[in-house]
Amino acid sequence: MLRALDIRGFVLIEESSVDFADGFTVLTGETGAGKSMLVDAIELLVGGRGDAAAVRGGAERAELAAEFDVDPRGALAAWLAERDLSGDPGQVILRRTVDGSGRSRCFINGHAATLAQLKEAGEYLVDIHGQHLHQSLLRAAAQRDLLDAQAGAEPLASDARNSYRDWKRLEAVATEAQKNYAAREAERAEIQDRVTELKRISPLEGEWERVAAEHARLQHGSSLLAGAQSALEALTESEGAALAQLGAVASSWSSPPQRRPARRCASCAIMRRASISIPTRCARSRIASRRCTPPPAGTG
């Protein structure tokens, strides 16, 4: 049964908490008092359609929570245990939030759950009777429960349910083991193929290390070729290439000295033919206080 209902930021309700006692509870009030909002909140909690319209104006999101007392050995308890959604024994807490964009989040006993799981759990907890709304008698699970209760076969039904759950669990384990076996067989076949190939190649001792070293050297071949090409261009083809400059220097050292036409000595005005390399200077022009001595007769 429903024990407590907590509502925050839902439609027109800013905040409201209701505790329910044992027995029959009636909500009364005049039209517009908000009775239907409480029913709508419960319906949303058990998987009803929710959108951004459920969020109160100015609120960040709508938050709904409800606490239920349940039979710890009932069908709902078994359903929760099967899906790892169990909480405290004999108690179920449903919680749902809807944000301003209409996105919803669902929780069962503090565990994150899907909307489908929330709706399925709600079918064990709440029947909402109204015009055009479904009733529990239309659900196959409820029909089975009534039939088992009428036949007194509830213990047998519980055993069958537990056996079916164990069978499905073992079936999942067997399926996983079969997948792992297939993967191991494929890996074994691949390793066997590699062993066969290695036996066919029959590598010599130390051959793997030599091949690995050669591979490491060759994998840098492109970078080595690119570096050599750049060096060659810098030596021969680029502007101001080093080889061209070295050739010019070598040719200047190997050519004979040039003869200059006769020049007049700046200090003594004697005509003579210079036979030394450029620049031509008077042999004694360094001494400013002395004149040049004329060359001996018969010299060039």
Lowest-pLDDT choice from 3-7, 10-14, 266-270: 266-270
Span 76-93, mean pLDDT? 86
Instruction: Please tell me the predicted confidence (pLDDT) of residue 261.
Output: 52
Span 134-153, mean pLDDT? 79
Instruction: Please tell me the predicted confidence (pLDDT) of residue 274.
Output: 41
User: Is the pLDDT confidence value at 287 over 80?
Assistant: no
Residue 267 Cα to chain centre, angstroms: 92
H or E segment at 211?
helix 207-218
* DSSP, residue by residue, 139-152: SHHHHHHHHHHHHT
Distance of alpha carbon 292 from alpha carbon 272, whole angstroms: 12
Q: Where are the beta strands (DSSP E) in the chain?
A: 2-10, 13-19, 61-69, 91-99, 104-108, 111-113, 263-264, 271-272
Instruction: Please tell me the predicted confidence (pLDDT) of residue 135.
Output: 60
* Domain range annotation of the chain: 2-131
User: Is the pLDDT confidence value at 196 over 80?
Assistant: yes
The neighbouring-strand residues paired with 13 are: 10
Instruction: Please tell me the predicted confidence (pLDDT) of residue 163.
Output: 92
Pick from 257, 268, 273, 274: nearest CA to 293: 268
Instruction: Please tell me the predicted confidence (pLDDT) of residue 259.
Output: 52
Instruction: Please tell me the predicted confidence (pLDDT) of residue 191.
Output: 93
Vertex 192, ends 191 and 198: CA angle to 5°? Answer: 90
Pick from 9, 1, 59: nearest CA to 37: 9
Query: Has domain 2-131 been given CATH number 3.40.50.300?
Result: yes
Span 243-268, mean pLDDT? 61
Token pair for 226:
């690119």
Distance of alpha carbon 207 from alpha carbon 209, whole angstroms: 5
Instruction: Please tell me the predicted confidence (pLDDT) of residue 276.
Output: 41
User: Is the pLDDT confidence value at 284 over 50?
Assistant: no
Instruction: Please tell me the predicted confidence (pLDDT) of residue 238.
Output: 73
The crossing angle, in degrees rounded to 10, of helices 115-125 and 75-82 is 160
At 56-81, the pLDDT tens digits run 888 888 999 999 988 888 888 888 88
Residue 118 or residue 239, greater confidence: 118
User: Is the pLDDT confidence value at 255 over 60?
Assistant: no
Instruction: Please tell me the predicted confidence (pLDDT) of residue 95.
Output: 92
